[in-house]
Structure 1
Amino acid sequence: MELFRQGLRHLMLLLLAISGAAMAQTVAPSGQEAGRAGGAQVRYEVVELLPGTIGSYPRINAAGQVAVSMVIGGRTKGFFYDGAALRQLGFPGGGAVYANGLNDAGQVAGTALNKAGVERAFVWSARGGMRDLAAGKDSGSSYGMAINGRGVVTGSFQGGTRPFRWSAAGGLQDLGSTPAPSGGRVLNDGGVIAGVSTIDDETTRVFAWTRERGLIDIDTLGSIESSPVAVGAGGEVAGNRLASWDDGGDRPFLWTQAGGMRDLGIGRGSTAWVNAMTPGLHIAGAIGYPDGRQRAMSWTRRGGMRELGALGGRTSVARAVNARGQIVGFAENGAGAMRAFVWSERNGMLDLNRLLRRTPPGLVLEQALAINDSGVIVASANTGLVLLKPSSL
C-alpha cells in the first residue's frame, strides 16, 4: 500500500502547487503576445468527457483514446473513452478504480478494489474486460502502474513489496528482491522497467530492470530520495531526486546504462522536477524559486534546460510533452487564475482558452494534462474533464 501511495505523490504535489499559486496576484510579462507572431493558430474543438475531480492523471494514446479515474459523488471511478463513447472500468461488485496506464491498443492498466475490498493490479480491454494480474499467485494487494505498447504491465504484488512484470503470454513474473519493499513504476516498449525501493518511510531508491542484468540500483548519486518518471526508447530513465534533507527540493536526473545517473541541474532556480519525457528524451517539468515562483521548463540533450515563460502570473508548470515538441500544462494569468496552456517552439506559450472553437457556455480550461503526437489534448476544466481536438483533424 505504501508504494501505491507514493505512486500518487506527484499528483498530490501538483494539485497543491495549483491551489497555492491560485492565490498569487503578481503580474509578469505574458507569453501570449509573443506567440501571436508565429502565424495562424490552431483551433480546438471541445469534447466534454466527465464531471468530477481527477483521481488519477489521464492517459491518451495515438488514436485519441483516454483512460482516467475521476472522483464522482465521493467515489473514484475508472473510465475509458474509445473516441466515441465512455466505458466504466471495474471488477464485478468491486470499488475504487485507478487507471494508471494506457497503450495504443486500448489496453488499460491500473489498480482496483475487488468485491472483497482488496486492491488488485488489473489490465482491461474492450474485448477482454477486467483481468486480475496476480490471480492464482497472490491473495494480497497488488498494484498495476504502467503498460507498454506490447501489453506488458509493471507494478508490485505481495502487498506492494515485490516488483513484477506481466504479459499475456508469460503471466506474472517476479522481478526479484531488493533490500527493501519495491515496485515497478514505468517501462518502455523494449521492456526496460524502472521503479522504486522504499528503504523507510522517508527514503526511496530508484532501480532499473532489464532481462540481461536484472535489478540494478541506478541511484549512483546517493540521493536521500529518488523516483522514476519515464523510460526512454533506449532504456534511459528520467526522474527526480532529493540530494539531501537540506538541499532545498527535488532535482531532475537522467540515467543511462553507459553514463549512470546524471543530475540535470535546476536552471536559475532553487529546485526543479520532471513530470514527463518522450521516448526521444524530451523532458518537461518545472523550475522552482525561493520566492515561490514556478516556471515551466523543458530539457533536451541538444538544448539543455530552458524556461518556457508564463501567462502573466507567477506560476507555470509543464505537465506533458509529445514527439513534436508541443508541451502542455497550467499557468497563472495576470489576474491570478490558473489557465491551461500549450507551448511550441514556434508560438511560445498560449492560453488554450483563447484557441477554442464554439466554446461551451461558462467553460474555463484550468490545466492541460496530456497530449498525444497528433496534438490532441486532455484538460481539466471548471466543468470536469475535456478533450481538445485540433480543428485540422
Structure 2
Amino acid sequence: MRPSLLALLLSSSLAAPLVAHSQPVYKMTFLPTNTTPHAIDASGRIVGVGTDGRGFLWSRGTMTGLGTLGGNSSVATAISSTAQVAGSSDTKNGVSHAFVYNGKALRDLGMLNGRPTFGTAINAAGQVAGYALDRNGNDRAFLYSSGKMTAIGSLGSGVARATGINKAGAVVGVSFLRGFTAQHAFLYANGVMKDLGTLGGPSSAAAAINDRGEVAGMSFVNADIQHAFLYRGGAMIDIGSFGGSSTEARALNNAGMVVGYSTRANDVPGESFSHAFLYRDGVMYDLNDLVAKRGIWTVLDAVGINDAQQIAAYACTDIGDCRAVLLEP
C-alpha cells in the first residue's frame, strides 16, 4: 500500500540537501496549498485535484478549474502533448463519467455498457484509456478511440484497469489472472493483451508507457516487498528502492527516466513516509537531494516527468502544509 501523505513525521526535512553533482539541481515552484498533482505535459502544465475537490489545470501560476459534468466533484488525471486533459467527474445523478477537457469545456465520454467510467490516460490523438465499474464493483479496462468506448479484455479473469497510453495507442495497466490468483501488469497493443510478468513475487502493476514502448510500474519481488520496475526490451528491470518495503514507479519520459516514490530503510509502518525518486542511467536518486533551497519541504512523491525533465511532485512540510510542486532542472 502507498503510505499516507497527509500525516507527517518528517524528522529529516530540515537537513540540508546533498546535491549529486552528476545530476541537475531542481528548483521548486509551488502550486496552491492542498493541491494534489496527477500528471505533467511537455510544457510543464500540471493537472490534478484542488482544494474544492475538483480537477484543475495549472500553467505558470495560473489555475484553471475544470468544473464538473453536473455533479459535485471531478478529477483531472492526465494531460496530452496537445493539452487535452482526461479524467472523470460526477454527473447530476452522482454517477462517474470519463471526460476530455479541450480548453473550454468538459466533453462527456459516457458509460461502458451502462456502467460508471473513469479516464486515466490520454494521448495526442485524443485516445483515452481508463476503466469502468461493473455491477459487482469490478474494474473493466477500456480504450476510447474515434468516438467509441471499447472494453479491451483482461488476462483471463475479466477484471482489469487501464492506467497508461502512448502515442501509438498502446495501453498498459493491471489485470487479475484467471482464477484471481494474482494481479499482473499488462501491455495491450493491436488487439492483444500481453502479461508482463513480475520481478519474482506474486503480483505487479503497470502505471505508464512512453512512446518507445517502455513501461514503468511496480512489482513484488517476494511476498512482502515491492519494487519499482522499468520494462524495456522485453524484460522487467528492478530499479530498486531506498531500502524500504514499498517502492512504486508512477511515470516515465521518452528517455526512460522514471519517477515515483519509495519508503526507506528503518521506516516505521504508519509513522514514516515516502521520498520521491528519480531513476536515470541505472541509478535511483532521492529527489530531496537534488532540490535546491527546499528548506522545510520534503518531496514525498513524484507523479510525472516530461522530456525536458520537469517533474510534477507532491511535497509537505513537517507542520502539515502539503501541495503540488513543479520541479525544474
TM tier relative to shorter chain = 0.7 to 0.9
Cα distance in structure 2, aligned partners of 1:14 and 1:150: 35
Worse overlay, 265-274 or 188-197: 265-274
Which structure: greater helix fraction?
Answer: 1
Cα distance in structure 2, aligned partners of 1:286 and 1:89: 28
Residue 93 of structure 2 corresponds to residue 116 of structure 1: yes
Could you say which residue in structure 1 is the equivalent of 2:47?
Answer: 67
Could you say which residue in structure 2 is the equivalent of 1:251?
Answer: 227
Conserved? CA contact 1:92–1:115, under 8 Å: yes
Computing the radius of gyration from Cα coordinates, the structure with the larger value is: 1
Worse overlay, 180-189 or 291-300: 291-300
Could you say which residue in structure 1 is the equivalent of 2:293?
Answer: 351
Question: What displacement does 1:208 show?
Answer: 0.9
1:165 to 1:284, Cα distance in 2 relative to 1, 3 A: same
Letter paired with 1:154: A
Sequence identity, in percent?
23
For residues 127-138 of structure 1, the aligned pairs below 5 Å read 127=104, 129-135=105-111, 137-138=112-113
Matching residue within 274, 279, 296 for 2:254: 279
Instruction: State TM-score, norm by structure 1.
Output: 0.65
Could you say which residue in structure 2 is the equivalent of 1:149?
Answer: 124
Matching residue within 163, 186, 199 for 2:141: 163
1:295 to 1:379, Cα distance in 2 relative to 1, 3 A: closer
Cα distance in structure 1, aligned partners of 2:61 and 2:292: 28
Residues 81-103 of structure 1: CA distance to partner in whole angstroms, max 9, x if unpaired?
35564332233431221211112
Matching residue within 92, 97, 102 for 2:74: 97
Q: What SS does structure 2 have at the residue aligned with 1:205?
A: strand
Conserved? CA contact 1:78–1:90, under 8 Å: yes
Q: What SS does structure 2 have at the residue aligned with 1:94?
A: strand
Question: What displacement does 1:113 show?
Answer: 1.0
1:275 to 1:163, Cα distance in 2 relative to 1, 3 A: closer
Residue 244 of structure 2 corresponds to residue 227 of structure 1: no
For residues 359-378 of structure 1, the aligned pairs below 5 Å read 365-367=297-299, 369=302, 372=306, 373=308, 375=310
Question: What displacement does 1:244 show?
Answer: 3.6
Conserved? CA contact 2:46–2:59, under 8 Å: yes
- The higher-RCO structure (CA 8 Å, 6+ apart) is 2
Worse overlay, 192-201 or 178-187: 192-201
For residues 18-29 of structure 1, the aligned pairs below 5 Å read 19=8, 21-22=9-10, 24=11
Residue 185 of structure 2 corresponds to residue 206 of structure 1: yes
Could you say which residue in structure 2 is the equivalent of 1:237?
Answer: 215
Worse overlay, 180-189 or 63-72: 63-72
Conserved? CA contact 2:313–2:327, under 8 Å: no
Cα distance in structure 2, aligned partners of 1:121 and 1:198: 23
Could you say which residue in structure 1 is the equivalent of 2:32?
Answer: 50
Cα distance in structure 2, aligned partners of 1:53 and 1:88: 12
Letter paired with 2:72: G
Q: What SS does structure 1 have at the residue aligned with 2:197?
A: coil
Could you say which residue in structure 1 is the equivalent of 2:83?
Answer: 106
Letter paired with 1:350: A
Q: What SS does structure 2 have at the residue aligned with 1:280?
A: coil
Cα distance in structure 2, aligned partners of 1:183 and 1:202: 16
Q: What SS does structure 2 have at the residue aligned with 1:253?
A: strand
Conserved? CA contact 1:283–1:298, under 8 Å: yes
1:197 to 1:280, Cα distance in 2 relative to 1, 3 A: same
Could you say which residue in structure 2 is the equivalent of 1:15?
Answer: 5
Residues 236-286 of structure 1: CA distance to partner in whole angstroms, max 9, x if unpaired?
2221112343xx321222324x53334344576666442332222122345
Conserved? CA contact 1:49–1:384, under 8 Å: no
Question: What displacement does 1:210 show?
Answer: 0.6
Q: Give unpaired runs (5+ residues) of structure 1.
A: 1-8, 309-317, 319-327, 329-340, 344-348, 354-363
Which structure: greater strand fraction?
Answer: 2
Residues 145-200 of structure 1: CA distance to partner in whole angstroms, max 9, x if unpaired?
11123222101125353211113x25212213432211211122222211111469
Could you say which residue in structure 1 is the equivalent of 2:271?
Answer: none
Q: What SS does structure 1 have at the residue aligned with 2:5?
A: helix
Letter paired with 1:209: Y
Cα distance in structure 1, aligned partners of 2:326 and 2:162: 31
Could you say which residue in structure 2 is the equivalent of 1:186?
Answer: 164
Conserved? CA contact 2:244–2:266, under 8 Å: no
Q: What SS does structure 2 have at the residue aligned with 1:292?
A: coil
Q: What SS does structure 2 have at the residue aligned with 1:63?
A: coil
Question: What displacement does 1:214 show?
Answer: 1.0
1:66 to 1:271, Cα distance in 2 relative to 1, 3 A: closer
Question: What displacement does 1:69 show?
Answer: 0.6
Question: What displacement does 1:220 show?
Answer: 5.4
Residue 38 of structure 2 corresponds to residue 86 of structure 1: no
Instruction: State TM-score, norm by structure 2.
Output: 0.76
Residues 28-47 of structure 1: CA distance to partner in whole angstroms, max 9, x if unpaired?
7x434x57x89xx8866x5x
